[in-house]
């Protein structure tokens, strides 16, 4: 395994959130984008990830020249700080046009809106200096099965991807699957689904994926297996590391905070396939607890990075020779305990 590889880290402005949930209001006063960017810099993160309207607020109400001006101004701000834009993701779950599923809406006008907005998102990504677009297909599903045809949903998704690929010959599109929430059953719940749809486009090499640990867990899958699978196809272009306690609502907990062993396995999978060597970032899609006080606002991000880096050490010092011996002897019971003892450290 590579011993020298250094990782670069990233988060989004939404990861410094105010504590609201469906049942209660914010518990911390909102901070400005400038404050969030300054925190990112101060704490030594390398990149920020953006929704299109994190980069250019209220972009549906703005003209193209105005969007360009604001994106260019943001790029200058990022450059001054030495911060990269990792990706831009079209926020296709807020506007009235996306109520019935954006690209997969039954209404042609709404599908057109979703595609037009995605093309604008690609332009913003270009102005911010990244070729990576992330699609979390929040509402690509049906509330009522009989109202839609999932096969036609695939056609609509492919059509949208084709329009994006044609809009910019260099753009790479990473699909971020999530099996549920806000919807009941998403059309693309897993990496296998995302890559299958990529294969239907005219340029599958430019359609890959992003794995979020919590989303894989919500699909009943092992995030480390999802990482291995995506990397086998050379398609893992970003990760949203976090944690999740069972099949509940999306929790976006600090990385490793529920299952240290699963986090170890995820880091080991990333390490063994050289994640990051092509410029990929380690992003944390984590949120502070509702109880977090403003003075501890960055701790969920700092702790996630600290846990990640400590696990990199654990992966690099794991006894791989002994592992191979135990595998050869089919002594998986001993292998199981080898992992546990390693994670526990010296008694
Ligand atoms: C939703 C989620 C999003 C995407 C970006 O669960 O993870 O924040 O990561 O659109
Ligand atoms: Mn995410």
For residue 42, the model assigns a pLDDT of 98
Query: Cβ(85)–Cβ(50) under 8 Å?
Result: yes
For residue 2, the model assigns a pLDDT of 44
Please give the structure tokens belonging to residue 171.
Answer: 């753009």
Ligand 1 atom closest to residue 215's alpha carbon, by position in its atom list: 6
240 is catalytic: no
**What residues contact residue 49 under an 8 Å CB cut-off, 6+ apart?**
10, 11, 12, 85, 86, 87, 88, 89, 134, 238, 281, 283
The Å distance, Cα 159 to ligand 2 centre, comes to 23
Q: Is the dihedral of CA 89, 95, 97, 100 positive or negative?
A: positive
CB atoms within 10 A of CB 100: 17
> Would the CB of 285 count as within 6 Å of ligand 1?
yes
Please give the structure tokens belonging to residue 257.
Answer: 């905070």
For residue 1, the model assigns a pLDDT of 44
The Å distance, Cα 182 to ligand 1 centre, comes to 11
Residue with tokens 């299952």: 259
* Percent of residues in the chain assigned helix, strand, coil, to nearest 5: 50, 10, 40
Distance CA 320, CA 326 (A): 10
Ligand 1 atom closest to residue 181's alpha carbon, by position in its atom list: 6
For residue 143, the model assigns a pLDDT of 86
Ligand 1 atom closest to residue 89's alpha carbon, by position in its atom list: 10
State the ligand closest to the CA atom of 284. Answer: 2
185 is catalytic: no
The Å distance, Cα 58 to ligand 1 centre, comes to 19
For residue 4, the model assigns a pLDDT of 55
Distance CA 194, CA 187 (A): 9
pLDDT per residue over 203-256, tens digit each?
999 999 999 999 999 999 999 999 999 999 999 999 999 999 999 999 999 999
User: Which parts of the chain have pLDDT scores under 50?
Assistant: 1-3
Distance CA 175, CA 134 (A): 6
């Amino acid at each position: 395994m590579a011993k020298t590889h250094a990782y670069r880290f990233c988060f989004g402005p939404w990861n410094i959130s105010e504590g609201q949930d469906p049942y209660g209001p914010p518990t911390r006063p909102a901070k400005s984008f400038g404050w969030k960017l300054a925190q990112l810099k101060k704490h030594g993160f390398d990149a920020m990830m953006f929704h299109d309207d994190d980069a250019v607020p209220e972009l549906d109400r703005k003209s193209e020249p105005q969007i360009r001006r604001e994106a260019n101004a943001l790029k200058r701000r990022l450059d001054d700080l030495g911060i990269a834009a990792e990706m831009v993701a079209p926020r296709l779950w807020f506007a009235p046009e996306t109520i019935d599923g954006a690209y997969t809406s039954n209404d042609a006008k709404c599908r057109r809106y979703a595609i037009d907005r995605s093309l604008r998102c690609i332009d913003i990504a270009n102005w911010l200096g990244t070729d990576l677009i992330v699609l979390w297909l929040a509402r690509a599903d049906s509330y009522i099965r009989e109202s839609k045809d999932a096969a036609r949903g695939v056609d609509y998704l492919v059509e949208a991807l084709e329009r994006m690929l044609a809009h910019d010959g260099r753009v790479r599109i990473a699909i971020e699957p999530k099996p549920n929430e806000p919807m009941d059953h998403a059309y693309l719940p897993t990496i296998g689904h995302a890559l299958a749809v990529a294969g239907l486009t005219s340029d599958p090499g430019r359609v890959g994926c992003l794995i979020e640990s919590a989303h894989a867990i919500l699909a009943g899958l092992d995030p480390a297996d999802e990482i291995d699978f995506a990397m086998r196809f050379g398609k893992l272009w970003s990760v949203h590391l976090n944690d999740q306690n069972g099949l509940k609502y999306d929790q976006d907990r600090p990385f490793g905070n529920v299952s240290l062993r699963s986090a170890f396995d995820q880091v080991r999978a990333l390490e063994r396939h050289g994640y990051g060597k092509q410029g990929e970032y380690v992003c944390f899609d984590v949120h502070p607890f509702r109880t977090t006080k403003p003075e501890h606002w960055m701790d969920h991000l700092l702790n996630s990075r600290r846990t990640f880096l400590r696990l990199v050490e654990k992966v690099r010092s794991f006894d791989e020779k002994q592992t191979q011996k135990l595998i050869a002897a089919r002594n998986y019971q001993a292998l199981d305990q080898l992992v546990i003892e390693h994670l526990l450290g010296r008694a």
